[in-house]
Structure 1
Amino acid sequence: MELRQIYYFIKVAEMEHVSHAAAELHVAQSAVSRQISNLEQELGVSLFFREGRNIRLTPVGRIFLDHVKIAIVELDKAKQEVFEYLNPETGTIRLGFPTSLAAKTLPTVISAFRKEHPQIGFQLRQGTVNELSDAVVQGHIDLAFVSPVPANKKDLKGHIFFTEKVLALLPVSHPLADQSQLRLNQLRHDPFVVFRHGYILRDLIMKSCQQVGFTPRIAFEGEDVDTIKGLVSAGLGVSMLPEITLHDLPDRENVSIEIIEPNVTRTVGIIIPQNRELAPSEKVFFGFLKEFYDTLDRFGQ
């Protein structure tokens, strides 16, 4: 079995068309067909159903595809790590992040890091905490910013950089907008604007409200912080957002207020794989992050 056969097989499986796959690979169609045929002969099974010019995977072909994709990811990772061991300052870091850290945390950190290590690049991937956790475990990304930092995950190591408060967000027209603090129970009759299902911040809001005796009435759902802020400023409900997302409100139509009962906080940090060692450039970045946040903590920023 040759790597070339595997690459050809994956491309044909993705495109379900031999000639289109050949064009993408910049090789003759006959070469692709021959390599697929040789692979099937070696394995002793048919990997594709042939339907005129189109083809599709057989059940065993789909099983084979799932496994070889993982193998290719690991091979590509191995080549990258060998290259980075020769020069750790020229690697590419595949970094994940959630929407709540996109506006301030991520740009601040990457900007500071690139000043010291300008040759190291980034490939960024946004997602929910669960999506990012799975991506790190499966090797699709190298490490990820997350909040909250998961504990007791068998395949992941979590490192907390700081803990922040989660504040109430109200439109300026709200009767409680002039308060310096409030109890969450005071919002029990208000409609809430929350993140959609799958976002940890939604779960945090629901559990916090239930902790003080009510289930919030969901008026609207969103997928990013700016959407939540906009819906609140339009007077469509109240919400709860992490403090770091509220440092620079884009307008004067919302107010953020500290919640004193219950005390709602979240951890912010990074997750790395438990089952494999970080590549050199990733170690450089991880070491930078620890020093960066240690410095901020010492100076109380």
Structure 2
Amino acid sequence: MTIEQLQYFYAVSVHKTFSLAALEMNITQSALSKQIAKLEQELGIFLFDRSHRQITLTHDGQQLLKDAKLILKDYEKMLDHLQTIKEENHNTIKIAMLPIFSHYDLAHKLNDFSKNHPHIHLIIDEVEERDLHHKLDYHDYDIYILRGDYEELHAFQQILLYEDSLVAAISKQHPFSHLQQLSINQLKDEKLLLPPQYTTICNLAIKACQQAGFNPIIHRHGRI
């Protein structure tokens, strides 16, 4: 039994003729008749008395009509609900970003966007870099705000928002603190605190040291 068959059955019960029901359902009369016959065969009952010029419901047909009305009404409700969800999704932008919300004043910028476009609902999730590959593979979001280059990003349009520089943060008590500039080579024998291993910044720092001809002495990883 299908929804279409119940719709055909209901149309015939309303119009009392297969021809008018077929016209309403936009199918041929023979196709509609075949669907009603298949429904009767599946249920093992006759739904219509065809012995008169104007067909009428049998007793079994009348019982089915009561249930069919409820089913078709719920089906219409479901379609309306799905349409509402589609419209809401159409006006929703899902954004995934690294935990850099405060670094680039993004909170104020996104808040201004919401004020200027109140009909658009923003969903913002902070995602750690270690979880990004899964998110990118499945395209869970409309916009990703990231740092670094990812192979999965090649399927996306990319827009540069900011450019950063690697810097060394040094204690005022450190011998290097009086220097106006510091070269990466001078960090060769220093114990370094680097961001978490899975982050792009950590990889960039290690790569910069290796390009300078040494492997950094990593004391530990962690967030500053």
| Interval of TM-score (by shorter of Structure 1 and Structure 2) | 0.5 to 0.7
CA–CA distance in 2 between the matches of 1:142 and 1:152? Answer: 14
Name 1:168's counterpart in structure 2. Answer: 168
Name 2:102's counterpart in structure 1. Answer: 103
Name 1:117's counterpart in structure 2. Answer: 117
**CA deviation map 1:248-279 (0-9, x unaligned):** xxxxxxxxxxxxxxxxxxxxxxxxxxxxxxxx
CA–CA distance in 2 between the matches of 1:152 and 1:133? Answer: 7
Q: Which has the higher contact order (CA 8 A, sep 6+)?
A: 1
**CA deviation map 1:99-154 (0-9, x unaligned):** 2x222322132123123123433322222446335314413222110112447844
Please report the TM-score for the alignment, with normalisation by the length of structure 2: 0.54
CA–CA distance in 2 between the matches of 1:140 and 1:96? Answer: 9
Structure having the larger proportion of residues in strand: 1
Name 2:215's counterpart in structure 1. Answer: 215
Name 2:185's counterpart in structure 1. Answer: 185
Report the residue type matching 2:187 in the other structure: L
Q: Is the 8 A contact 1:194 1:202 kept in 2?
A: yes
- Report the Cα offset of residue 215 of structure 1: 1.0
Please report the TM-score for the alignment, with normalisation by the length of structure 1: 0.42
CA–CA distance in 2 between the matches of 1:174 and 1:207? Answer: 24
CA–CA distance in 1 between the matches of 2:138 and 2:168? Answer: 36
CA–CA distance in 2 between the matches of 1:98 and 1:133? Answer: 12
Name 2:69's counterpart in structure 1. Answer: none
**Structure 2, unaligned stretches of length 5 or more?**
3-81
Q: Is the 8 A contact 1:149 1:159 kept in 2?
A: no
**Structure 1, unaligned stretches of length 5 or more?**
3-76, 86-90, 229-301
CA–CA distance in 2 between the matches of 1:98 and 1:116? Answer: 24
- Report the Cα offset of residue 167 of structure 1: 1.4
Q: Is the 8 A contact 2:136 2:152 kept in 1?
A: no
Q: Is the 8 A contact 2:184 2:212 kept in 1?
A: yes
CA–CA distance in 1 between the matches of 2:194 and 2:96? Answer: 22
CA–CA distance in 2 between the matches of 1:197 and 1:122? Answer: 30
CA–CA distance in 2 between the matches of 1:198 and 1:79? Answer: 40
For residues 245-256 of structure 1, the aligned pairs below 5 Å read: none
- Report the Cα offset of residue 165 of structure 1: 1.5
Name 1:290's counterpart in structure 2. Answer: none
Name 1:145's counterpart in structure 2. Answer: 145
- Please give the secondary structure, in 1, of the residue aligned with 2:166: strand
- Please give the secondary structure, in 2, of the residue aligned with 1:160: coil
- Report the Cα offset of residue 195 of structure 1: 2.0
For residues 257-296 of structure 1, the aligned pairs below 5 Å read: none
- Please give the secondary structure, in 2, of the residue aligned with 1:210: helix
Aligned structure 1 segments of 4 or more residues deviating by more than 6 angstroms = none
Residues 1:157 and 2:157 are matched in the alignment: yes
Report the residue type matching 1:104 in the other structure: H
Name 1:298's counterpart in structure 2. Answer: none
Q: Is the 8 A contact 2:166 2:205 kept in 1?
A: no
- Please give the secondary structure, in 1, of the residue aligned with 2:202: helix
Which structure has the greater CA radius of gyration? 2
Q: Is the 8 A contact 1:97 1:145 kept in 2?
A: yes
Report the residue type matching 1:95 in the other structure: I
Name 1:38's counterpart in structure 2. Answer: none
- Please give the secondary structure, in 1, of the residue aligned with 2:219: strand
1:172–1:80 distance in 2 versus 1, CA, 3 Å: farther
- Please give the secondary structure, in 2, of the residue aligned with 1:139: coil
- Please give the secondary structure, in 1, of the residue aligned with 2:176: coil
Report the residue type matching 1:139 in the other structure: H
Q: How many residues align?
A: 144
Q: Is the 8 A contact 1:194 1:221 kept in 2?
A: yes
CA–CA distance in 2 between the matches of 1:79 and 1:178? Answer: 63
1:78–1:204 distance in 2 versus 1, CA, 3 Å: farther
